[in-house]
Structure 1
Amino acid sequence: MNPSDTNFPAPERTHLRLGFVALSDAAPLAVAALRDLGARHGITIELCRQPSWAAVRDKLLSGEIDAAHALYGLVYGVQLGIGGPQADMAVLMVLNRNGQAITLSRPLADAMERGASVKEALHSLGRTPVIAQTFPTGTHAMWLYYWLAAHGVHPLRDVESIVIPPPRMADALVEGALDGFCAGEPWHAVAEARGAGKTVAYTSEIWPDHPEKVLACRRDFAALYPATARALVRTMLDACAWLDASAHRAEIAQALSSPALLGVPGALIEPRLAASDGGDARALPVRFFDDGAVNYPRVSDGLWFITQYRRWGMLDADIDDAAVATSVNQTALYRDAAQAAGIATPGERRAATFCDGRVWDGGDAARYLAGFEMRA
């Protein structure tokens, strides 16, 4: 165990099963397992690949996995009882920012390249477009809905939004079952390589440096095994820090190509994971650490997802939204782990300007929500 951990109790659980979905931003979990980074904090890690986000949810709730690489919005959907059975959930830390995209079929993307607006391109189909995301309350649904609305397309009325697991996205686009999708990498790179679609927007263009995947667990796990949860955060912070080096990004891209992880050629993973510009000048790079600036689980980030659930009619319960976010995001546990690692904790508030010019800083959620003209 790391000497800096000697002021903390030893982990109550020493072997942890961590779920993940085949995505490039599962890199921190892969690094932690492949490099045995948990050893210095008294834990071992077993990776458990899952076929979908619904499977991640179900196995977290059943206890078959202890924690997971999870969509920020999955955690909040379960907490609120709108993304499956209600259960009290915990966000231990943010694993990455940016790194997602929206891909449309080649005919639609080509129309946009010729100058058509998003609305005009979709209307040119002469039918309701079918666009997939990965989980009803997940990040990709929220990025897709926000982007469509910003371009004058109502995401609940003008398109058919369906759920498909990320590894199925490119296949579905090739088969003509979809007109587009919003998901993580490397599935956009795969779709382009297969000639089925083209990336038309990056999620960092929607919300620059947005939070994406989180380290999630049930709240009772964090309460029963606080030293274990702290050791797990320490391990993932080490993994995220390791990923900051560009040479390490290229190394993990090759490791992720294995059938046990992503099963996609490294040549399709590396450009959008390792390139300093994310593979495209329009995109901000996927960020894993940046001296800890990435990882703090701000309550305001969680609260933003609740505003979007209300915007799109997914949530109408009279509850204290800020209190929910405060209970989910384990800021005190994270601070303990970060302090032990000598990592600074950033401020609670962070202002961000979205693609429609609106600013979110977490200060007045009700006023922010009321300002949207397009909603359910």
Structure 2
Amino acid sequence: MEGRWDKNKEKLKSLLDKYNLDVLILTGKENIIYSTGIRDPTEVLILSNKCPDYLLTSTLDYFRMLSRAPKDISLKAFYRPGEKGTEPPIPKSDLVEGGLIDAIKLISSQCGNKIAADLQWANYTIGNYLNEQLKIQDLSNDIIKIREIKDDWEVEFITNSINASEKALRDALNVLESNPSENEVEAVFYSSLMNQNAWGEAFPTIVGFYENTALPHYNPGNVRLQKPGPVLIDFGANMNGYLSDMTRSLWFGEGGKEYKKLIETVAEAQSEAIDSIKPGVEAWEPDKAARLVFDRENITRYFNHGLGHGVGVEIHEAPYLRPNSKEILEPGMIVTVEPGIYYPGLYGVRIEDMVYITKNKARLITKFSRIL
């Protein structure tokens, strides 16, 4: 498996040759996962063609990173604030006499003075140092473009994440008859993922009952499913660093004719959007295709977010399918398609699936039935 991650690392290191640089500093956890496959990595990865590749980590996390880092990555440990003066059982050759900034300065200076970084992911302190003191070149946009296009093995990992999340959804739906709370349904979903050896949820799972289904970013609470009504579950898994993202809406119990009709309308909008996705299409076009369906029903004003987004080692990454997005869709991209209609104080419907853009069209890679 390690060789797969190494391919990603080499993609990013190709930017060194492209721009005649000596060092690429990665501060974003997602970029480090992308390059190494390390679960919850700390803290900064330094890539170079003139030096070894270095992972800078705190003394506290040194041995955890040592057990997980690929063999071709060297470790350097630094002191967290206030911990200088302790004597951790770390080889002196792997210990920097200072904090993270000192470690970045030391390692980068050994490898050359033409330095780049992923400033979009840097926190203020590190970003300010890189920008003001090291005068780095920001390669964030280049990294975004590289990560947009998935290799076959990445598609496989994302598919594994989808499979795990769909299994967890089945387990969660099975408890609806027991009149659970929203929190209890989320707990079942999470437990199922962990029993499948997932790294965790891709994001905090959304479980909403009744009028809470009209809140796109709702946080589950203690509301119980004690009478017929709408249910919305927005969910995903993290399997080996790659994520999935899906949503299903359903009516629980008897009745619900109007809600079920709205589900069918949203499903139609999603189908129209998926049919419009192919290489060479601008990213606003699928969004428009969905809105045309809602225009016909005069409900477009209740669709108040973009149609979708890319998914990989981050749950929201490029490309973004939005009304004003001009990016050209390309083979190898994986995006969500998630139209939704939300009537405040009443209910909402969202249906979300993931598609892989092939040489000719969009291929649906989520399998769970859209109409429940």
Whether these two folds match at TM > 0.5 is no
- Compute the TM-score of the two structures, normalised by the length of structure 1: 0.27
- Compute the TM-score of the two structures, normalised by the length of structure 2: 0.27
Q: Flag the structure with higher strand content.
A: 2
Structure showing greater relative contact order (alpha-carbon pairs closer than 8 Å, 6 or more residues apart): 1
